[in-house]
Structure 1
Amino acid sequence: MKIGIIKPDYKITGGFEVVVNHIKAELEYRGHNVDIVNVDATKRTLNDIPCSIDSHIFQQNADFFRYINYFWKYLKMDLSMYDIVISTQPPSFAIQHPRHIALFYHHSKAHYDLSELFQEVGLHQPYHRKAQEVIREIDSLSLSKVSIILAGSNTIKERIAKFNNLSVNVDLFYAGIDKDIYNYSGPLSYNYPIVVGRHEFPKRPELFVNAMKKLPNSYGRIIGEGGRTDDLKRIDQLLTYTSIEGIYIPDDVIWKKLSNGFFEEAHSELLRKSKRFKHKSNVVFTGRVSREQLFKEYADALCVVCPAFEEDYGLTAIEAMAFSKPVIACADGGGYVELIKDGVNGFIVEPNSVALAEAIRKLVDDPELARTMGENAFQTSRLYSWDNAINKISETILK
């Protein structure tokens, strides 16, 4: 069977790209002819919208009009050479084909599950609510024409029902994890808490940083980097100073404002003071690491903290569990919450640094508990193999 996977190309390699590459490889192994049809998602032209847009209006609502442009681009694609097509990130599900599977992990988040948060923080553009109304309407129309939507988690399935009023043509698809991670059998130790992932809003590594300041005799490691890394390092320096000086900064200010570079004068003044005193932080930033080093970080970790808000799936948590590590996530963590049985293979805590610190402290004080929970976590990870994932894709293709 000739299969086309339609993929917006953001010129980065993240979790979604890993999933798509695995699907391609596994389907080819099973005898299918598979193309990944990349569509450059970094271009800023509006050539595909069938009308002219005033430049002033475009500048006020650039993200919205780019979304509409790509909606039209996908809508007009000729995919008749494929027996079946698989769309991926939005708005690639606007493609037209009689046999169309949507591999669905998230909407345009600023106009759906993160809409209210973006408005609260001040990251939205003018006319946000009208743009949101239009995007939800065209998305719902497109998704209603899809043969089957494979939602990447129950969290995503619930969002599709809530926002697009669709449930009949929606099924679940849980991606497998990297086979070398799934089959890891090397040495393990339980040393320190870590956070793994890109530094983007609202992944909330800031909550982990603030939690570690409440555990001054322990240290943690932050693995990875991203667009918010510089702000995160400034926050760490600031909180190192304020924790020693007994100055309180609310968690909501830290992860909603400071993480986006919105430092008020009072915070900027504290940051200037922190640079003079140069207190040593108990948080280590590794930056981007090699695959070999990532495995070592997982293997040496006491636990893996996943503080993100409304995560779509939770691949990091499953990877951690494959290394027999308990996972700590927040109650508003979306897909992460689906993976954790509180007190069994990890902890689900309130989304604040005090609760995170308390959960970490339990494992620091009781390494045997960390090992026991890690063994339970390992058993959970066995459910997320690529064999299971591709079997689901294959069943859907053959329907």
Structure 2
Amino acid sequence: MKIGIIKPDYKITGGFEVVVNRLKLELELIGHEVQMVYVDATDSTTNDIPYNISQDVFYKNPEFFKYINMYWKYLKMDVSQFDAVISTQPPSFAIQHPRHISLFYHHMKIFYDMSDLVLEVGLQQPYHHKSVQVIREIDTLSLSKVRTILAGSQTIKNRIKQFNNLSNNVDVIYAGIDPDIYHFNGRVAYEYPIVVGRHEFPKRPELFVKAMKRLPHLVGKVVGAGGRTDDLKKIDNLLAYTSREGIDITDDVVWKQMSNGKFSFEYEKLIQTAKKNKSSSNVIFTGRVSSEQLFEEYSKASCVICPAFEEDYGLTAIEAMAFKKPVIACKDGGGYAELIEDGINGFLVDPSSAAIADAIRKISENKDLAIRMGNAAYETSRKYTWSNAIAKLVEHLT
């Protein structure tokens, strides 16, 4: 079968790109001809919209019009050369094909599950409410025509039901993890807590950094990088100073404002004072790491913290579990929360630095608990294999 995978190209490589590339490989291994069809998702024009949009109107609501332009681009795309197509990120599901599967990991989040949050933190565009209404209407129309929507988690399936009122054509597919993880032959230890992932809003590594300031006797690691890394380092430097001086900065300010680069004059002044005082930090930033380095970090971690808000799946958690590491996730963590049996393979906590710090403390002070939870976590990870994922996909392709 000749299969086209339709993929918006955001010029970055994250967890979803890893999943899609693996999916392509697995389909080829069982004999299918698979072609990736990339579409530039950084395009800021309105050339595909069949009516004129003035620059003045565009810049009043750029995210909305960029989405609408992409929507029309996919709607007009000719994919008839393929026997089946798999759409991926929104709005690639607007393509039209009789054998169309949507590998669905998230909506355009600012118009859906993050809609209220972007309003709260001041990231919204003008006419946000109207934009939300229009986007949801056209998405629902397209998704209702898709033969099968394969949601990347139960969390995502629930969102599709909540926002698009669709369930009859929706099934759940859980992606596997890199099988090389199970061939790791290095030493497994329980040395320090880590957080892994891109530094983007609202992954909330800021909550981990703040939690570590409540545990000055421990050292933690931030593994990875992203568009907000510089701000995260500023936050770490600031919190190292304020925690020493007994100055409290609330969690909401840290992850809802500072994580988006919003440092008030008061805090900028404190940052300058912190630089002069050269406050030492108990958080190490590794920067971007290779797969081999990532495996090493997992192997040495006492636990892995997954603090993201409304995560779509939870690949990081499953990878950590494969290394027999307890996972700490937040109750509003979406896909992460699905994976955690509280007190069994990790802890499911309130989304606060205090709750995260308490969970880290419990694991760090009790190695037997860490090992017991880690063993349970490993058993959880074995459920998420590529063979299971491909079997589910092939079932819907045929």
Question: Quick check: TM above 0.5?
Answer: yes
> Quick check: 1:182–1:385 contact (8 Å CA) kept in 2?
no
What corresponds to 2:102 in structure 1?
102
1:220 paired residue number? 220
Is 1:50 aligned to residue 54 of structure 2?
no
Provide Cα deviations, 1:110-162, integer angstroms capped at 9, x if missing partner: 00000000000000110011111110000000000000000000000000000
Instruction: Give how far 1:186 is off.
Output: 3.1
Q: CA deviation at 1:350?
A: 0.4
Gaps of 5+ in 2: none
How big is each residue's C-alpha offset from its partner over 1:359-384, in whole Å with a ceiling of 9 and x where there is no partner? 00001110111011000000000001
The amino acid of 1:87's aligned partner reads S
Letter in 1 for 2:291: R
1:192 equivalent to 2:180? Answer no
Post-superposition Cα deviations, 1:173-213, rounded to whole Å, max 9, x if no partner, equal 00000111244343200000000000000000000000000
State the match for 2:128 in structure 1. 128
Counterpart AA for 2:329: A
- Report the Cα distance in structure 2 between the residues aligned to 1:47 and 1:87, rounded to whole angstroms: 22
Does residue 1:175 correspond to 2:175, yes or no?
Answer: yes
One-letter amino acid of the structure 2 residue matched with residue 32 of structure 1: H
> Are 1:162 and 2:162 an aligned pair?
yes
Give the whole-Å Cα distance in 2 for the aligned partners of 1:205 and 1:321.
Answer: 19
> Aligned partners of 1:171, 1:130: CA distance in 2, in Å?
30
Counterpart position of 1:203: 203
Separation in 2 of the partners of 1:155 and 1:183?
A: 30
Q: CA RMSD in A?
A: 0.7
1:44 & 1:287 partners in 2: Cα distance? 30
2:376 partner letter: N
Provide Cα deviations, 1:276-308, integer angstroms capped at 9, x if missing partner. 111110000000011111110000000000000
Task: List gaps (5 residues or longer) in structure 1.
Answer: none
Q: Measure, in 2, the Cα distance between the counterparts of 1:2 and 1:188.
A: 43
Q: 2:216 is paired with a residue of what secondary structure?
A: coil
- 1:233 corresponding residue in structure 2: 233
* Equivalent in the alignment of 1:286: 286
1:268 CA displacement: 1.2
1:269 corresponds to: 269
C-alpha separation in 1, matches of 2:183 and 2:394: 23
Question: In the alignment, is the contact (CA less than 8 A) between 1:184 and 1:322 conserved in 2?
Answer: no
Alignment of 1:270-349 (within 5 A): 270-349=270-349
Task: Quote the Cα distance in structure 2 between the aligned partners of 1:349 and 1:197.
Answer: 19
Describe the SS at the equivalent of 1:96. coil
Q: For residue 22 of structure 1, what is the aligned residue in structure 2? A: 22
**Cα drift, residue 107 of structure 1:** 0.2
The normalised TM-score by structure 2 is 0.99
CA distance in 2, matches of 1:131, 1:278: 46
Higher mean alpha-carbon deviation, 180-189 vs 275-284, is at: 180-189
1:53 Cα deviation after fit: 0.3
Conservation of the 8 A alpha-carbon contact between 1:196 and 1:223? yes
Count of residues in Structure 1 that have an aligned counterpart in Structure 2? 398
- Give the whole-Å Cα distance in 1 for the aligned partners of 2:148 and 2:391: 15
Check the 8 A contact 1:220/1:283 in 2, yes or no. Answer: yes
Moved more, 182-191 or 219-228: 182-191
1:145 paired with 2:145, answer yes
Q: Which moved more, 1:142-151 or 1:387-396?
A: 387-396
Secondary structure of 2:351 counterpart: coil
Q: TM-score, normalised by structure 1?
A: 0.99
SS where residue 295 of structure 1 aligns?
helix
Contact 1:75 1:96 in 2 (8 A): yes
Query: Is 1:152–1:172's contact at 8 Å kept on the other side of the alignment?
Result: yes
2:36 is paired with a residue whose SS is strand
